[in-house]
């Protein structure tokens, strides 16, 4: 029984510690990159609209791989790209047509759930990344929360407090186990 409790205790400690590290990584990564967290060379983007449903749902997180200027001109019909639509707006849509004019390449894009193609063609210079096929549903809502001041505080302080609370509980349990043993020894010494 004691061995089971010890194993369970170690598992809980590990889970809380990993949670603390993961939350710190997400919050720090999203702040350092200017909004979107990054992991292993991939950017994690939040899906803010339903234009690409059912490929990915609103509130999902998708992984996109940033591409260089050479790769921007070699994209094909069917690729899902993230492009700069305006100074402060990124869009992720599927390429439905490619037009080449000398050294310039333009992509016609469309959201899978949209009835019509996007109004403006996308210049290859405006393409920032390509979708990797990795999607996690509903995590975008969590990242939005993590990027807020309140969310950052809760997600960094919360797991730390849980870990400290659990450590205090473990210390209290250890002291409770030691006290009966020391009382038994004291009573044995008095009778001897």
Which one of 9, 29, 30, 49 is the catalytic residue?
49
The counts of H helices and E strands in the chain are: 4, 8
The residue ranges of DSSP E strands in the chain, in sequence order, are 38-39, 42-46, 61-66, 80-86, 89-101, 104-110, 122-123, 127-136
Is 49 among the residues known to form the active site? yes
Q: Are 47 and 57 in contact (CB under 8 A)?
A: yes
What does the alpha-carbon distance between residue 148 and residue 150 come to, in Å, rounded to a whole number? Answer: 5
Q: Which of 65, 28, 56, 72 is nearest to 140 (CA)?
A: 56
Q: Which residues are the active-site residues?
A: 49
């Amino acid at each position: 029984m004691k061995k089971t409790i010890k194993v369970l205790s170690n598992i809980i400690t590990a889970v809380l510690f990993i949670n603390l590290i993961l939350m710190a990584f997400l919050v720090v990564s999203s702040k350092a990159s200017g909004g979107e967290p990054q992991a292993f060379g991939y950017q994690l983007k939040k899906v803010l609209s339903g234009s690409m449903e059912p490929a990915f749902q609103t509130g999902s997180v998708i992984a996109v791989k940033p591409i260089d200027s050479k790769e921007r001109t070699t994209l094909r019909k069917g690729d899902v790209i993230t492009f700069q639509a305006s100074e402060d707006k990124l869009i992720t849509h599927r390429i439905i047509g490619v037009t080449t004019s000398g050294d310039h390449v333009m992509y016609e894009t469309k959201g899978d759930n949209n009835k019509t193609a996007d109004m403006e063609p996308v210049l290859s210079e405006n393409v920032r990344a390509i979708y990797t096929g990795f999607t996690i549903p509903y995590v975008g809502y969590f990242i939005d929360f993590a990027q807020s001041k309140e969310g950052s505080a809760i997600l960094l302080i919360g797991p730390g407090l849980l870990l400290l609370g659990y450590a205090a509980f473990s210390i209290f349990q250890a002291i409770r186990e030691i006290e009966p043993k020391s009382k038994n020894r004291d009573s044995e010494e008095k009778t001897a």
